[in-house]
Structure 1
Amino acid sequence: MMKKLAQTSVLFAGLLSAGMAFAEYPTKPITMVIPYSAGGGTDVLARALQPALEKSLGQTIVVSNLPGGGGILGFTKVANARPDGYTVTIPNNVIFATEGMGNATYKSTDFSYLGNVLTEDYLVAVRADGPWQSWDELVADMKANPGKVKFGFSGFGGSTHVVSALLADIAGYEAKQIPHDGSGNAVLAAMGGHIDALMLNLVDLASGLESGKLRPLVSLGEQRLEDYPDVPTLKESGHDLSLTNWRGVAAPAGVDDEVKQAWAKALGEATRDPEFQQLIKSQGGVVDYVAPGEALDQRMSLLAESFIETAQKLKQ
C-alpha cells in the first residue's frame, strides 16, 4: 500500500513538473451579472458576446439579470464577489456616476477591468407622434413650460441621469426628470406615451427607433451618426458638450493575471467576429476593444474622474 502511495506521489509530482495545471482558469461556469432588465443594451451585448466567449473560455457563461437601483444592485453583487474570475459584469459610465452621486457603496476601484468592448453616443429621443420635430423646438417648449415635459432616463443617479441633468443645466430648461429601472423600461415608457422624451445610449434606444415609435432629436457625440445623418450633434446646436458611453467586462478587484489573460484572449476573438461587429453596428454602437492593461486602466481613470466630478456637482 505504501509503495502504491509513493508511486502516485511521484507521478503527481512528475505531472506538475511537466507543466500540467490541475486548476487552470476557468474550470466551471462563469456568471455574468447584468444589472438591468432583459432587452436593454447591456443585456443585448451580453447575449451577443456569450457564444464566442463560451467557445474561447471553454465554459458556460450564465447571463443573470439582476435589475434594481439603476444598476447598483447588480454592480454591488459583483464588487463584493470573490475575485476568482467566476463572477463578472458589463459596466459603463454608471459606476462612476453612482460613485459621484453617493448612491452606491462600491467605488470604481473595486473592479478589475477585463476589457473595453464598445463605445456609443448618448442620444435624446421623443415619441414619434409628439409635437416636436427638432431639438430646438423641444428646448423652446421646456423653457416656456417649466416642468411640463416628462423627460426619462435609465436609473436614478446613473450615467444617463447625470447626463440628462447636465444637459438641462447647459441648455437652460426645466423638465420633469423621471428615472426608470433599466433602459428597456424607459424605452417602453416612451413608446407607450408615459413620458415625452428620454436620454439614453443609442444602443439602448435601438428598438424604439427601429420600430418607428421614437424619433431621435440630438446626439451628444462628436460627429453625426452614420445611420441618422439628419440628427444634429449638441455642439451643432450651440452647446459645447460631447459625451460618449462605453461598455466592457469587469470582475471584482484583485483577479490574477491568468484571469485577465483568458478574458483578453476571449474578448479579442469575440470582438473580431464579423457577425458580432455587424450586430453592434446595427444597434448604433462602435466596436472599440481595449485589452486589460495600462491603456485601459488609464481610460477608466480619466472617465471616472470626469463623471465623478460632474455627479458630485449635480448633487450639491
Structure 2
Amino acid sequence: MAIMHSTRFRTGLAVAAAVGLTVTGCSGVQNTTGSGSGESWPSGTVEMYVGASPGGSSDLISRAVSKGLSDNLGASFPVINREGANGALAAAEIVNAEPDGSKIAIQNASLFTITPLAVAPDEVTNIDDFDVVQGVSRDDYVLVTNPASGFRTIADMQNAPDRVVRYGTTGVGTGAQLSAALLFKTSNINAQAVPFDGGAPALAAVLGNQVDVASLQVGEAIENIQAQKLVPLAVFGPERIEYLPDVPTAKEQGLDVEVTQYRFMTVPKGTPQEVKDRLVEGMQATFATEEYKQFNKQNSLTPMEIPGDEVLEHLREDKQRYADLVGQYGISLREEGSS
C-alpha cells in the first residue's frame, strides 16, 4: 500500500512516541512467548508486523492499536516494520508463523484486492492463507490538483480534450493507481500516468505543479487542501466523507469509480479461537476509548470496526469488482506503473 509521510502522519508518530509507543525494529524483539491457551494469552511479547515504514498511515494505525492492546491485555505488542512489496513482506511473516498468537498483523485490503491485478500469479498474496480477525478503519482516496492547473472539477478535464493530463500515483498495485486509472478510462480523458514510490513524492509533485493531478489518501492531502494549496476534485469512496464534506464522489459526477483502502487484523491460519476472541476483545476496548477515536479524526480515518467474516466478504467482493472493471476498460496496472 502506498506509504504515507504527510505532516499529519509525522505529527501523529511524534504523539505516539510521546505516549510511550515503542518504535521497534526487527532486531529489538526477543523472547516472544505468545500463548495459544485462551485466557492465558497473551503470556508474553506479541510481535505486530506492519508492511510499511515508520510514519505512514499503516504504521501509525498499527501503533495506535498496539498501545490499546498493551493497555487492555497487559502484554507488550511491539510493532515491527517490514516495508516492501505493498505489504507482502510483512504478510509473509504471518503466513510462515506458528499459529500460537505470537505474531499478528494489521494488513491493507489493496494487497489482496488490487495488487493481484498488477503482479505475476506466483507473487499474489492470498487472503485464504490468514485468519481475518477484526476490521479496523477505512482510508479514502481523493483526486487533487494544483490551483495553477486551472481544473476545478472533473468536467474541466473532460472539456480540455487537447491536453494530456499527467497524473501521479503512489505505487503499482495500489488503490491510488487503480482509482486514477479507472477515473481517466471511464471519463475518456486523455491522461498519462506518472508513478511515484509513495504518497510523499506524489504530493510534492502535484504541489510543485510537476503533474496535473494526483490520487492520494485523504490524510496525505487534507492539510494542503485546507490551506488551499490543493484543489480536491473527487473522492473515490462509496459516499462523501466527513473530513471533506463538500467534495463530491466520482460516482456523483457520473463515473463508475469506487476504490477505498481499509485495514484489518490478521493472524496465522489455524490460530486458536480463544486467542482470536481475546484479540477482538482488546481491539474493541481500544476502539471505545476517546484517545483512539481522536486518533481516527486526526488522521482522517473512517472506522470500519466490523467482524472478520464481514471483512472477508468485502475483500472478496472488491477483488472481483476490481478485476471486472480492469478487464472491462482494458487497464494494465503493471504497464501503467512503469516509468
Partners of 1:99 and 1:108 within 8 A in 2: no
Provide the identity percentage. 24
Q: Is the aligned partner of 1:270 residue 2:286? A: yes
Alignment equivalent of 2:114, drawn from 97, 105, 126: 97
Alpha-carbon spacing, 1:211–1:279, altered in 2? closer, same or farther (3 Å): farther
User: In structure 2, the residue corresponding to 1:290 is in which secondary structure?
Assistant: coil
**Counterpart position of 1:249:** 265
Counterpart residue number, 1:227: 243
Measured after TM superposition, the shift of residue 129 of structure 1 is 4.7
Alpha-carbon distance in structure 2 between the residues aligned to 1:181 and 1:73: 16
Residue 145 in structure 1 maps to residue 151 in structure 2: no
Contact 2:183 2:255 in 1 (8 A): no
Aligned residue number for residue 82 of structure 2: 66
Q: Deviation per CA, 1:200-255, whole angstroms, max 9, x where unpaired?
A: 33234345445654332111233333332331221222223333332122223332
Instruction: Report the Cα distance in structure 2 between the residues aligned to 1:188 and 1:64, rounded to whole angstroms.
Output: 28
Displacement after TM superposition at 1:116 (Å): 0.7
The structure with more radius of gyration: 1
| Residue equivalent to 2:313 | 298
Q: Which of 264, 274, 282 is equivalent to 1:258? A: 274
Aligned to 1:3: none
Distance 1:255 1:164, change over 3 A: farther
- Structure 2 residue ranges without an equivalent (≥5): 1-36, 334-339
Shift of 1:26: 2.0
Given residue 235 of structure 2, which amino acid in structure 1 is its aligned partner? Answer: S
Task: Measure the CA separation in 2 of the matches of 1:258 and 1:75.
Answer: 22
1:36 pairs, out of 43, 52, 61, with 52
Q: How does 1:84-233 map to 2 (within 5 A)?
A: 84-95=100-111, 96-103=113-120, 104-141=123-160, 143-146=161-164, 149-210=165-226, 212-233=228-249
Measure the CA separation in 1 of the matches of 2:317 and 2:148. 40
| Cα shift at 1:34 | 2.2
Distance 1:164 1:276, change over 3 A: same
> Does structure 1 retain, via aligned residues, the 8 Å contact 2:179–2:258?
no
Question: How far 1:102 sits from its partner (Å)?
Answer: 3.2
Contact 2:235 2:249 survives alignment (8 Å) = yes
The 8 Å contact of residues 40 and 184 in structure 1, kept in 2 or not, is answered as no
> How big is each residue's C-alpha offset from its partner over 1:156-191, in whole Å with a ceiling of 9 and x where there is no partner?
122322222222211112333233333344334444
> Could you tell me how far 1:139 is from its partner in structure 2?
4.2
Secondary structure in structure 2 of the residue aligned to 1:289 = coil
Distance 2:209 2:81 in 1: 26
Give the structure-2-normalised TM-score: 0.75
Question: 2:91 is matched with which residue?
Answer: 75
